[in-house]
């Protein structure tokens, strides 16, 4: 099994959860603990205040990075759950459009 290390993880980036209870769902990285662990939230089931610590090996990084989430984290160190839901909604709609085009 080869791991995709071309995409570096950063706050505001959308990831697909590969292992655990939420496998198959998408979330946003809200902070990075170290080279092995990040904190993720989706703004719905997993709120910003109750972010989940995940091993990076259990995540599949996506190329989409939400500028709204990044700006909010830089300005205040926090992000609203609504912005997390909005970012994931944008990602899913962009992904479905790309799938329809056959990209």
Give pLDDT, residue 3.
Answer: 47
- What is the Cβ-side half-sphere exposure of residue 24, based on CA atoms within 13 angstroms? 1
Q: What is the CATH number of the domain that holds 22?
A: 2.30.30.140
7 domain residue, yes or no: no
pTM: 0.88
Q: Domain range spanning residue 25?
A: 13-98
70 domain residue, yes or no: yes
Q: Is residue 29 classed as helix, strand or coil in its secondary structure?
A: strand
Residue 1 has pLDDT above 60, yes or no: no
Task: Yes or no: say if 10 and 56 are a contact pair by the CB < 8 Å rule.
Answer: no
For residue range 58-72, list pLDDT tens digits in order.
Answer: 999 999 999 999 999
68 domain residue, yes or no: yes
């Amino acid at each position: 099994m080869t791991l995709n290390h071309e995409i570096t993880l950063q706050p505001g980036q959308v990831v697909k959860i590969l292992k655990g209870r939420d496998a198959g769902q998408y979330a946003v990285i809200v902070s990075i603990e170290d080279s092995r662990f990040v904190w993720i939230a989706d703004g719905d089931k997993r709120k910003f205040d109750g972010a989940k610590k995940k091993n990076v090996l259990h995540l599949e990084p996506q190329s989409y990075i939400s500028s709204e989430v990044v700006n909010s984290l830089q300005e205040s160190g926090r992000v609203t759950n609504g912005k997390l839901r909005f970012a994931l909604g944008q990602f899913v709609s962009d992904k479905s459009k790309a799938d329809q085009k056959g990209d």
